[in-house]
Amino acid sequence: MKNILLIGGAGYIGSVITEKLISNGNNVRNLDNLLFDNKFSITKYIKSKNYEFIQGDLCSDDDLKKAIEGITDVIILAGIVGDPLSKKYPKETDQINEKGIKNCLNFLNKQRLDKVIFVSTCSNYGVINDDEIADENHKLNPISLYAKSKVNIENFILSKKKEFNFSPVILRFSTAFGLSPRMRFDLTLNEFTMELFKGNELEVYEPNTWRPYCHVSDFSEVISKILNEKKEKIAFEVFNVGTEKNNFTKAMIVDVIKKYLPSSKIKLVDKPVDRRNYRVNFKKINNLFKHEYISVEDGIKEIISAFKQNQYQNIFENRKKYGNYEIKK
């Protein structure tokens, strides 16, 4: 059993990771400043004897001191998440995603910890040629403030091999999809499926751009396995997280949705909105351990099934609840 500090654990990915870690018998302490007014996502865990919530900020040493007592491992998820939000809040992105996380890592280095997992992103690859597939050694080409902040923290961690007394691991997550207690419908696959299920016409910009996709529950499985992996196999290593079978273009995602929603109204627009275009190689992490990843198609079916069961009501009226559109100041 581990005592795990999850920094940013009330979000879309963190709330799913929480459930996985608790179900595996770990104690989970969640430090989150609820920037997205999302405390509702953790209500199901509050009564668990293996869970503790602290509302606090990773930029505050006082809050970190409250959260760190008795902790064996740390997962850093917190930040201004995603390219559009970072563009909207550049000052906060710099303050949290860079200065805050660097301060947090330096604070953690003064503690007695086993592993520290930093969640990064495959967006770091930015734009690559269609005939290329990026592995962990591929040149990074971040084109958004969000990705640039992630690359800067990766470089900071990798420069501290002689200084950090814990074992850091960098995980470059694919674009997430799937159901979560803190559901987001501003993520490509989730958004496309929702819009088409609701009968809206969907405009798909740059339909032929590639991106890897990964179900949020697969992230939780990978995190759990990394926490139990031998330190010598993962310390100061970078891993892409996902599977080659989920390298998809936007047009390919729409084609799958149309199999289940054949009356979908779709307009493909070749207009530059988001230049990111990359396929990713995942051999490194899949050589570390075996895991069967949920397919894009199964993720689409899961979301359609949730809508048919009326799980998500008044999405458009409660837009802020279901996406990272703005932060609470």
Residue 207 is predicted with a pLDDT of: 96
Residue 83 is predicted with a pLDDT of: 83
Task: Average the pLDDT over 93-119 and give the result.
Answer: 97
Helix H or strand E encompassing 114: none
Q: How confident is the model at residue 314 (pLDDT cuts 50, 70, 90)?
A: confident
Q: How confident is the model at residue 174 (pLDDT cuts 50, 70, 90)?
A: very high
Residue 316 is predicted with a pLDDT of: 84
Residue 328 is predicted with a pLDDT of: 80
Q: Chain-wide mean pLDDT for the chain?
A: 96
Please provide residue 325's backbone torsions phi and psi, each rounded to the nearest 5 degrees: -95, -30
Q: Are 238 and 198 in contact (CB under 8 A)?
A: no
Residue 49 is predicted with a pLDDT of: 95
Residue 166 predicted with pLDDT over 90: yes
CA distance 147 to 169: 17
CA distance 33 to 55: 5
CA distance 217 to 180: 8
CA distance 196 to 307: 11
Q: What is the pTM of this model?
A: 0.97
Q: How confident is the model at residue 272 (pLDDT cuts 50, 70, 90)?
A: confident
Residue 329 predicted with pLDDT over 90: no
- For the ranges 43-47, 202-206, 223-227, 231-235, the lowest mean pLDDT is seen at 43-47
pLDDT in tens, 120-163: 999 999 999 989 999 999 999 999 999 999 999 999 999 999 99
CA distance 279 to 128: 8
Residue 258 predicted with pLDDT over 90: yes
Residue 55 is predicted with a pLDDT of: 96
CA distances from 56 to 46, 53, 60, 67, 109 (A): 16, 9, 8, 9, 19
Q: How confident is the model at residue 251 (pLDDT cuts 50, 70, 90)?
A: very high
Q: Are 278 and 141 in contact (CB under 8 A)?
A: no
Residue 274 is predicted with a pLDDT of: 86
Query: Which residue in this structure is represented by tokens 């051999």?
Result: 283
Task: Average the pLDDT over 31-52 and give the result.
Answer: 93
CA distance 118 to 241: 12
In this structure, are strands 210-215 and 247-249 parallel, antiparallel, or unpaired?
antiparallel
Residue 120 is predicted with a pLDDT of: 98
Q: Which two structure tokens, joined as six digits, stand for 128?
A: 């690559």
Question: Where do the domains of the chain lie, and which CATH numbers do they carry?
Answer: 3-174+213-241 (3.40.50.720), 177-212+244-279+294-322 (3.90.25.10)
CA distance 243 to 214: 7
3-state SS assignment for residue 52: strand
Amino acid letter, 82: G
